[in-house]
Structure 1
Amino acid sequence: MRLIIQIPCLNEAEHLPVTLAKLPRQIAGIDSIEVLVIDDGSNDNTGDIARQWGVQHIVRHRRNRGLAAAFQNGVDRALAAGADIIVNTDADGQYEGEDIVHLVQPILRGEADIVVGDRGVADNAHFGPFKRRLQRLGSFVVRRASGTTITDAVSGFRAISREAAQRITITTEFSYTTDMLIQAGRKRLAIASVPIRTHKTERPSRLFKSIPRFITHTAITITRAYTTHNALRVFVGIGLAMLVLGALPVLRFTWFYLNGEGDGHVQSLVIGGSLMMMGTLVSVMGILADLIATNRKLMEQTLFKLRKLEEKLGETESDAQGQQEADTTPDLIAIPTRRSR
């Protein structure tokens, strides 16, 4: 069982050594623990620090591509390296490295595909009152959108099984946390959470520059992810609402028309007819979007099978290479010797 701990980094040369020092070296049930650092276009010596600390895997982006891309590229690299479990943590020291031991347990026991570290947002001493309410609201929205019971949806401290990592592809450009949970919920993956410890971070977040911007980007991410997996429900719902709204002025015009006063209320007919036509078009768009979503599911299944096939081919090549090395190793032949009389 191989565990790879991935750490997305952007200019983390100062904090990375402390984070690496606190990572566990041994976990019961895990044969090997390796570290993967994703250097997301840092302009300091983050990559050099990772090499000096003996990090086994380093992914380097020539320019900053964002947290979501860094996370996805890290997962792809970890899968290629043969990871059975992938743990994602931050380099800023917010999460306690020793809690990785607790984070992977539900996966080791076969109880979960994804485990999210619960920071205890409601009473976390490192969060202000406004941030607590905001985090709780965001988690509530994600729970409703994903059909899960996770209480800390935006926690970046999480463990993922190999199969779950193969099934999920992050498409957002902002943050992977909510997109990943909505995908996992819709794909019926088993998601669990465990309480974790947190530390106060000394530097401001590099993911967003202000709370309003964070809210805006998170809302867009949740809406996009939910619409992607529930296109028919979203578009047909909007279309039906427009049809109902359009029917009201049409009924109004019909009432006045039947009472001989239709000439002065033609605008109601125009407005109502326009709304009903737009509602019909939106509903048709919903059907088309649902067909596209179905095609996406087929493509995801194909991608999952392709990843499985690549995994098997990699194992076959490794076995063949090992056999070839064994065949080319000269055999030692025991030559009997005569005893002198």
Structure 2
Amino acid sequence: MTKLIIQIPCLNEADTIGDTISKLPSKIDGIDAIEILIIDDGSTDDTVEKARAAGINHIVRHRRNRGLAAAFQSGVSKALSEGADVIVNTDADGQYEGADIDLLVRPIINGTADIAVGDRGVSDNVHFGVFKRQLQRLGSLLVKSLSKAEINDAVSGFRAFSRDAAKRLTITTEFSYTTDMLIQAGRKRMAIASVPVRTHETKRPSRLFKSIPRFIVNQMITIGRAYTTYNPLRVFVTTGLFLSLVGILPITRFLWFYLQGDGNGHLQSLVIGSAIMIVGALFCMLGVLADLTAANRKMIETTLLEVRDLRDQISQKEESELLELNSREGENTL
């Protein structure tokens, strides 16, 4: 039996959550059961009540707002505990076409991808302004380069992933999971598919950011942090070598004047150059230490995956024993 759980992070979405849920598919070929999970990230309106009235199956509640990344991770953990084989994440504001979940999960069901990302066609999407189109395209190109994965819409929140992929991913950022997740998945050699999907215009402003400059800064910090986490040696050693090359310039300047017999008046170049080269050497040493830490992190992730697999085996065994016990009780009753 293949179970799909559709998770929807929510923050004060009472006006749209009911309509969003009503447009989700109830049947998909290759899926035996479809359940809906909402993550209430500290809503102060009646989002939960509206969601319950719409017929959801599961709720995760945060007592206060913890951010989209934390809401996403809470949803994934809950979906895994409920036995989801495929997980779909969508927005509560109705931006994405619910019927396209069928298209989104197809690569997962067919076994051709671990993760499928909804491609909104950013370059010609009529619901996006010109500046937003260019910004999204540049961001997607950057993430594509860093993750080594073919991704057309890196910040799309409409995505599906298999149970195995969900167990192997752990979101560490506090801003947005989208780019962090893709860089992780790309560096872990997961198969990622881009699936063209339809979108609708949303009337309310984004709750993820208050201004475009702030969004850009936060995304760059998230991307840089995620890339450094999985490529520390490259980042630190490259920076260290660059600083060392910069340090050579003032030292070369000092040597030139020294050979001309005028070295005493240019000692500051020697001091500055030496200081910069020392900093470069320190960055290289930090790169080695960070790489050792990254190796330790990989072992921790492997252990975490094994713990999750063991938990699944125990749950399956308990479920089997419960079914067997119920069957025996039924026979005794007869």
- How many residue pairs get aligned? The number is 333
The alignment's TM-score, normalised by the length of structure 2, stands at: 0.98
Matches within 5 A, 1:40-119: 40-119=41-120
Task: Specify every segment of 5 or more residues in structure 1 that has no aligned partner in the other structure, as ranges.
Answer: 334-341
Larger of the two Rg values belongs to structure: 1
Please state how far the C-alpha of 1:179 moved relative to its aligned partner: 0.3
Counterpart of 1:223 in 2: which secondary structure? helix
Please state how far the C-alpha of 1:109 moved relative to its aligned partner: 0.7
2:221 aligned residue: 220
2:274 aligned residue: 273
Answer with 97-106 or 286-295: which moved more: 286-295
Counterpart of 1:34 in 2: which secondary structure? strand
Answer with 62-71 or 286-295: which moved more: 286-295
Answer with 149-158 or 289-298: which moved more: 289-298
Distance 1:326 1:18 in 2: 41
Counterpart of 1:331 in 2: which secondary structure? helix
Q: Deviations over 1:265-298 (max 9, x none)?
A: 1011000100011100111011111111111111
Please state how far the C-alpha of 1:329 moved relative to its aligned partner: 3.1
Please state how far the C-alpha of 1:53 moved relative to its aligned partner: 1.8
Distance 1:264 1:124 in 2: 62
Aligned AA (2:297): R
Distance 1:173 1:60 in 2: 17
Distance 2:71 2:215 in 1: 18
Q: Deviations over 1:189-209 (max 9, x none)?
A: 000011000000011011111
Q: Deviations over 1:248-272 (max 9, x none)?
A: 2112212222332111110110001
Matches within 5 A, 1:134-149: 134-149=135-150
Answer with 317-326 or 231-240: which moved more: 317-326
Aligned AA (1:2): K
Distance 1:54 1:93 in 2: 17
1:298 aligned residue: 299
Aligned AA (1:5): I
Runs of 4 or more consecutive aligned structure 1 residues displaced over 4 Å after TM superposition: none
Answer with 147-156 or 324-333: which moved more: 324-333
The alignment's TM-score, normalised by the length of structure 1, stands at: 0.96
Please state how far the C-alpha of 1:234 moved relative to its aligned partner: 0.5
Distance 1:88 1:30 in 2: 16
Distance 1:204 1:40 in 2: 17
1:162 aligned residue: 163
Aligned AA (1:293): A
| Distance change in 2, residues 1:59/1:332 (3 Å) | closer
1:337 aligned residue: none
Q: Deviations over 1:137-169 (max 9, x none)?
A: 110111111111101000000001000000000
Counterpart of 1:204 in 2: which secondary structure? coil
Please state how far the C-alpha of 1:325 moved relative to its aligned partner: 2.2
Distance 1:34 1:14 in 2: 21
Please state how far the C-alpha of 1:332 moved relative to its aligned partner: 6.8
Matches within 5 A, 1:1-341: 1-331=2-332
Counterpart of 1:284 in 2: which secondary structure? helix
Q: Deviations over 1:100-120 (max 9, x none)?
A: 000000111110000000000
Distance 1:215 1:256 in 2: 45
Please state how far the C-alpha of 1:326 moved relative to its aligned partner: 2.3
Distance 1:208 1:300 in 2: 31
Counterpart of 1:23 in 2: which secondary structure? coil
Distance 2:148 2:290 in 1: 21
Counterpart of 2:332 in 1: which secondary structure? coil
Distance 1:104 1:296 in 2: 30
Counterpart of 1:279 in 2: which secondary structure? helix
1:338 aligned residue: none
Distance 1:329 1:198 in 2: 51
Q: Deviations over 1:207-256 (max 9, x none)?
A: 11111111111111000000110100000001001111111211221222
User: Percent identity between the aligned chains?
Assistant: 63
What's the Cα RMSD here? 1.0
Please state how far the C-alpha of 1:330 moved relative to its aligned partner: 4.3
Counterpart of 1:329 in 2: which secondary structure? helix
Counterpart of 2:88 in 1: which secondary structure? strand
Distance 2:17 2:329 in 1: 44
Please state how far the C-alpha of 1:327 moved relative to its aligned partner: 2.6
Counterpart of 1:87 in 2: which secondary structure? strand
Distance 1:36 1:260 in 2: 78
Counterpart of 2:194 in 1: which secondary structure? strand
